């Protein structure tokens, strides 16, 4: 299992557009990918789950990848988060 923490830098937090892009990216990988914020963990491949986190600017989220191709998944998602959120 791979795990990384990121701080949301987008002033709007995780809103619809980047959440949709994150879900689309996560769906490209066969491994299990979750996002955690304030103790709530959701499936990163489900838009409603990601949106329900309500992550705001300045808050930390944790991405966990477990399974096949987890190394590539965590690196790709990490780049996306750093560039877009």
Catalytic annotation, residues? 15
Spatial strand order in the sheet of 40-43: 2-7, 60-66, 32-37, 40-43
Report the first-to-last Cα separation within the chain, whole angstroms.
Answer: 23
Residue carrying the six token digits 């701080």: 7
């Amino acid at each position: 299992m791979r795990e990384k923490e990121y701080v949301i830098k987008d002033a709007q937090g995780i809103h619809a557009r980047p959440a949709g892009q994150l879900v689309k990216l996560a769906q490209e990988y066969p491994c299990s990918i979750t996002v955690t914020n304030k103790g709530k963990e959701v499936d990163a491949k489900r838009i409603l789950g990601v949106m329900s986190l309500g992550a705001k600017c300045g808050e930390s989220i944790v991405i966990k990848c477990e399974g096949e191709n987890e190394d590539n998944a965590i690196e790709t998602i990490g780049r996306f988060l750093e560039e877009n959120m």
